[in-house]
Each structure stands twice: as structure tokens, then as C-alpha cells.
Structure 1
Amino acid sequence: MISNVAPNSADLPIDPDFDDEIVTDFAPAGTDLSPITLELSPAVCGQRLDKVVASMVPQFSRSRIQLWFEGGHVKVDGKPARGKDTAYGDETVTIEPQAAPEDTAYTPEPIELDIVHEDDDILVINKPAGLVVHPGAGNWSGTMLNGLLHRWPQLANVPRAGIVHRLDKDTSGLMVVGKTLAAQTDLVRQLQARTVKREYLALVWGTPHLSATIDSPMGRHPRERVKMAVSTSLNAKPAITHYERLASGALDRRPVSLVQCRLETGRTHQIRVHMQSIGFGLVGDAVYGKTHLAPAFHRQALHARRLGLTHPSTGEHCEWVIPLAADFAELLESAGIEQPEAV
């Protein structure tokens, strides 16, 4: 029998390099922090103690082991030791591993979440500006992930507590979460297949064309590694943004435009970088915009207002549209622009 049915997205392999906003770096199980006892052999005689210990417990980084030495958590024959001490090869070393911030990042916390939709398989959340999606350097607590684990403890059994894609901390709007491993996997593969509809509203400086497609690969900024940039590097990844100008107004006598952006790919900071690359940076964008214009708004004026996808369990097409965040709505009013109707 020959079938012409399109392959199910859940049957496609996960490609971790496909899209920067898709969360495929699923976290492994927690590290064992039980006390460790090491019996040194004559073979290590004359070596620095910290190097000997690091070679015997490779599951921990050298910098972390050094902190344990400094904190008195590494002992030789029952006495606190220093990393620079010399090993003689007949000692007993005991280590009391200490948790690093990332080890306790998956702690449930009572964080208020605006739930737009919930069923047995998925959650759709209206993320406010200022909320970090999941723990990372500098933000090991107080994230959406911590809030998910508090409200739905069963999500501890799903990688990243079911999160499948990211929004920047200061971007507001819709996100979907898989409540089961099967749902999460299906959603990730839908994102990879570019069948998830993600539509954003952005307020930009200037007056761009009525509509256009920005097809410009992106990669790390060559000098400022915390930023992204349009790039011709061989390591750059495809990035495609479709935009349409909906209305125009003015802030501080400078022209601004409300644009609707539809993502075909989802690179980190894609809309912010793409709009800046054609000369129309986002209002309030302190990272990619012009410094003297940053005070016009306290965050980048970007809101994920529409999300459409195929339900992982029922196969039905689902779509959600939400109003602008209150601060964004006030910004539009200041610019003399009416909020667009949800259609």
C-alpha cells in the first residue's frame, strides 16, 4: 500500500542546531552531592593536591573544586587542606561537595503565572515582561520554570519542566509548555518543521516599507559575544522575518511605526536584530538600539500576541491571540497609535 499522508512531526528527529529559541538542551539528572572519600596512591606523590583531586573526580570542574578547598570542604586525614598543598601518596582525602547555583535551579517557587489555556497536554502562558523563562547565568531562581514546578509538580518529570521555546526576559506574550514528554517532543518538532505560527507586534523607530521579508542569516556578534548580528560567516544560521507596517505615529516628535512580525525561524533576538539591520530598531531596545533613544521606553517594545499550533494529542489546529501588555498599550497611546484589533 502506498500512502501520501504527510509524516507526523513527532516522528521527525530533533535537530538541536535548527533554532536558537527551541529548547533542546534538556537538562540531565541532578548531580550526586554525597561525601566522597579518596585514597591517594604513591603514584601521585609530589603533585599539587588540587590537581590530584580534580583528576579523581572529573565530574566536577576544577574551579568548583577550588571553591571547596577555599571553603574548607576538602580535608586530608581529617584536617582542612589547601589546593596548593603537596600530595604524598598515602593520604585519605574527604570531600563534602557543595551545591552550585545551577544544581538548585529547579526549585519550585510560588511565581504568579497568567494561564491562557490549559488541558492535559499543554499550557499556554502569557509571559509578562521582566520574567526570565528558565534558569541560567545570573538568573538561577525566580524564573518561569520555577513557577511551573511549583504549580505543576509533575513537570519535574519532563525536561525543562515542559518548556519548548524561549522569549527574551523583556519581551511579553504567548508561550506554550508541554505537560508531558510526548507533548513537549511533538511541540519541539512542530517548531522545527516551521508549522507553529508565531506573530509579534513591535514598535520601531522610523517608517519602514509597508511590508517586506528580511532574509538575513544571523550569528554571534564578532566583537560583542553577548549580542547577535546579521552575518555572512560560514557559522551563521538562516533567519527569516516577515513584517508588515500597521500604523505610524510619533514619540518625542520622532516617527515610529507599529509593525507585525511573523517568524519563519526563531534565532536569538531575531526581530530585534533584523529590524535594526534595515535601519528600524525597536523602541526601548538598549542592546541593539541607539543609546540616546533607549530612555523612550523601559524595555524593547516587543510582544508575542499570536500563537498557532497543532494540538499534540487531538491533532486539531489551535490558535490564541492576546491583547497588548499594558505598558506597551500605553506606549502606543503616547505615540498616537490605536491598538490593532485581534483578527
Structure 2
Amino acid sequence: MGAEYTAHPGIKTMPKQERLDCTIPVELAGKRLDQVLAELLPDHSRARLQHWLKDGAIRIDGRPGRPRDRVLGGEHLEGCWELAEVVADAAQPMDLAVVYEDDDILVIDKPAGLVVHPAAGNPDGTLLNALLHHAPVTAHLPRAGLVHRLDKDTSGLLVVAKSERARTGLVEQLQTRRMGREYQAVVSGVLVAGGLVDVPIGRHAIDRKRMAVSPGGKPAITHFRVAERFRAHTHLYLRLESGRTHQIRVHMAYLHHPLVGDPVYGGRLRLPPGAGAACVAALRGFGRQALHARRLELVHPGSGRPLHWESPTPADLAHLLDALRADAATGALPDEDAGECHYRD
């Protein structure tokens, strides 16, 4: 699930200098200076360009410029600034399931158990360390090009930027909800209808490592639909409109349908009444939250082409689903219901 990042003390920064020396084309006359810079320097975000303007790093005809200034065309732009080169303590070789790669982006099918970036307790051996080895160019980007993340025990698709242009474009798609992310999950209890959850998520008031539904939290919307129903569980497909930490896990627990195997929000293990040994073993033996990022859709930040990828159901989740199907064949399922549920704050 998407999440916000914080800097890690194990990551160092090294300056990389970049210069600007050009003349504003006359066809850009009448535009604001920040708009002109966005066209001339598409590899950098509008916020970063405005910061350099306000900081005096970019000058127009030898004087400081303001973002709102209108240009006439023909003015001389010059500037010099430093880019932080982000370097993890170690670039480590690691087998990566690369689904797609070009000069701008890299799509990874992350296995469960792989931490995305260094944090307390995981100083190395992370996806970030592997990216620095696989694509050294990512050392020049914040968080080695990672623009969103998946929890350690969530498997599936994740996109990484390999250029500043791509990073800016992907972040914008995430912020404007144009990047499509679909997950599959197995939850406790029987849901007979799809729907959406629209309740804010913030840090837990007591346990700061947990997230919770909170009136003062950030807006969070999760859509879900029923893929398959079993005697005491449901297989769901879910789509995110936002990318809050642990969003799917928190929202489903809020509905009293927590993810199977979730060690933080899952609660007590639920077994179908009279379940056979194989079903009980599959549920008891599932050692992670039953969540997989199955589909990723985006617009390529360089070519503008719409792209999508799908990840097959991982073996452990497929085994769990097979066990639940076999158990369902032994007993009655709930009645069909074509309704839709909406849960809002």
C-alpha cells in the first residue's frame, strides 16, 4: 500500500551540481516564470523550481526572479544548484522479479517478506539496497526512486522511478489518483456485497507504530468487490483512491473483516465451523497478512502511453484459497446479495 516516507539515518547525501544557461523562447512570452521553467526543465517538479527561484538559485537577466513574473521572451536564464545524491550504506546484489524496465521506470513484483527501504531493525537487505545495485542511476533520486511502497509482508507490483522526470510524473499520478492499484485479499467473515470505505486514517493515539481510523486523520478511500465467498471468509479485490500507511488493513479491520494472518489488525483467527484438518492447517499456517498487489496501471511519464501489469497470485495465497474452496464445497454458502455497501465517516 502507498505510504509517506521519512528519512532514514543510514542514508547519506552527496552533492551533485547542475547548471542552467539558456534564453527564453519568444513563443513562451506572456507565461509566468515558474510555468516557463516547468517547460524548460521538465525533469524537475514545479515545487522544486519555485524553491530555487525563491532561494535565488535561478536568475533572469542577472536578477532574482519571482514565480509569478510574466516573461517577454528573449530573457537570459542562468542558475546553479546542487542535487542531493541519495546513497544507501550498501548497494547489494539481490534477485529481483523485474516485470518491466526502461530508461525511466522499473516495475518490480515484490515477494512477501522483503522490506522496501531501510528502517530501524532493517538497516540493509531491503529493496532499496537491491535497486542501488540493479540500477545505480537511482542513487541520484530520493529514496532510490521509490515513490510508493508495500508493507514487508504484502506481495505484488511496485513501480520505481529511474529518472527525475519519471519520479516527478509518477508522484503527480499518485497525488491526482491517476495511478491505478488493485489488490486481492482474503478477509475474515462473509461479505455478500462490494462497496467502499471512506473514513480518515491517522496514527493510533497510544501505539504510534499502528494506524487507526481517526477523525483527525488524512482522507482515505478504499473500494472493494467480492471475488469469491467461502463459509467464514471472503476473497476480495480492492482499489485505492489514496495511499495511507496500512490503508487496506485498517479499513477492513474497521469493517470487522480483518485480513487473514494480519499480526497487527487481524484479531482472533476465525475458522469455519467443523472445518477439516487441511483448511485449519492452511489458515493457521498462513504467516502474513493475506494481501497481494495484483494489478498496476499508469501513464508512462516519458512516452505518455497507458501501461498496465498483472501479477499472478503467489503460491501461499493460492494454497489458502484452494483450501477455503475445498472447505466451502463441504457446506452451504451465504445467500446471494447484489447490493452495495458504503462506509463513510
Q: Name the CA distance, whole Å, in 1 between partners of 2:317 and 2:153.
A: 12
Q: Name the CA distance, whole Å, in 2 between partners of 1:256 and 1:143.
A: 32
Q: 2:321 aligns with which of 332, 337, 340?
A: 332
Q: In the alignment, what sits opposite 1:237?
A: 218
Q: In the alignment, what sits opposite 1:14?
A: none
CA 1:295–1:147 in structure 2 vs 1: closer, same or farther (change >3 Å)? same
CA 1:247–1:337 in structure 2 vs 1: closer, same or farther (change >3 Å)? farther
Q: In the alignment, what sits opposite 1:319?
A: 308
Alignment pair present for 1:137 and 2:120: yes
| Matched AA of 1:262 | R
Whether the aligned pair in 2 keeps the contact of 1:249 and 1:336 (CA below 8 Å) is yes
- TM-score (normalised: structure 1): 0.67
Alignment pair present for 1:290 and 2:267: yes
Q: Name the CA distance, whole Å, in 1 between partners of 2:300 and 2:8.
A: 22
Q: Name the CA distance, whole Å, in 2 between partners of 1:280 and 1:23.
A: 28
Whether the aligned pair in 2 keeps the contact of 1:22 and 1:188 (CA below 8 Å) is no
Residue ranges of structure 1 left out of the alignment (5+ in a row): 1-18, 33-102, 339-343
Alignment pair present for 1:248 and 2:229: yes
CA 1:166–1:232 in structure 2 vs 1: closer, same or farther (change >3 Å)? same
Q: Name the CA distance, whole Å, in 2 between partners of 1:31 and 1:263.
A: 33
Whether the aligned pair in 1 keeps the contact of 2:192 and 2:229 (CA below 8 Å) is no
Instruction: Return the index of the structure with the highest Cα Rg.
Output: 1
Q: In the alignment, what sits opposite 2:96?
A: 113
Q: 1:183 aligns with which of 166, 174, 185?
A: 166
Q: In the alignment, what sits opposite 1:228?
A: 211
Q: Secondary structure of 1:305's match?
A: strand
Whether the aligned pair in 2 keeps the contact of 1:183 and 1:312 (CA below 8 Å) is yes
Structure 1 stretches of 4+ with a deviation exceeding 3 A read 22-29, 103-106, 291-296
How far off is 1:30 after superposition?
Answer: 2.4
Whether the aligned pair in 2 keeps the contact of 1:200 and 1:261 (CA below 8 Å) is yes
Whether the aligned pair in 2 keeps the contact of 1:110 and 1:151 (CA below 8 Å) is yes
Q: 1:155 aligns with which of 130, 138, 149?
A: 138
CA 1:25–1:187 in structure 2 vs 1: closer, same or farther (change >3 Å)? farther
Q: Name the CA distance, whole Å, in 1 between partners of 2:302 and 2:156.
A: 24
CA 1:147–1:31 in structure 2 vs 1: closer, same or farther (change >3 Å)? closer
**Sequence identity of aligned pairs in percent?**
51
- TM-score (normalised: structure 2): 0.66
RMSD: 2.4
Q: Secondary structure of 2:12's match?
A: coil
CA 1:31–1:309 in structure 2 vs 1: closer, same or farther (change >3 Å)? closer
- Counterparts of 1:1-343 in structure 2, within 5 Å, are 21-23=3-5, 30=12, 105-233=88-216, 236-250=217-231, 255-292=232-269, 295-336=284-325
Whether the aligned pair in 1 keeps the contact of 2:191 and 2:229 (CA below 8 Å) is no
Q: Name the CA distance, whole Å, in 2 between partners of 1:318 and 1:271.
A: 24
Whether the aligned pair in 2 keeps the contact of 1:159 and 1:181 (CA below 8 Å) is no
Whichever structure has more strand as a proportion of its residues is: 2
**CA deviation map 1:297-330 (0-9, x unaligned):** 1000000000000000000110111111111111
Whether the aligned pair in 1 keeps the contact of 2:8 and 2:119 (CA below 8 Å) is no
Q: Name the CA distance, whole Å, in 1 between partners of 2:166 and 2:9.
A: 17
Whether the aligned pair in 1 keeps the contact of 2:200 and 2:213 (CA below 8 Å) is yes
Paired residue total: 244
Q: Name the CA distance, whole Å, in 2 between partners of 1:29 and 1:208.
A: 44
How far off is 1:291 after superposition?
Answer: 3.9
**CA deviation map 1:254-312 (0-9, x unaligned):** x1110000000111000011011011010001110114458451000000000000000
CA 1:316–1:156 in structure 2 vs 1: closer, same or farther (change >3 Å)? same
| Matched AA of 2:320 | L
| Matched AA of 1:273 | V
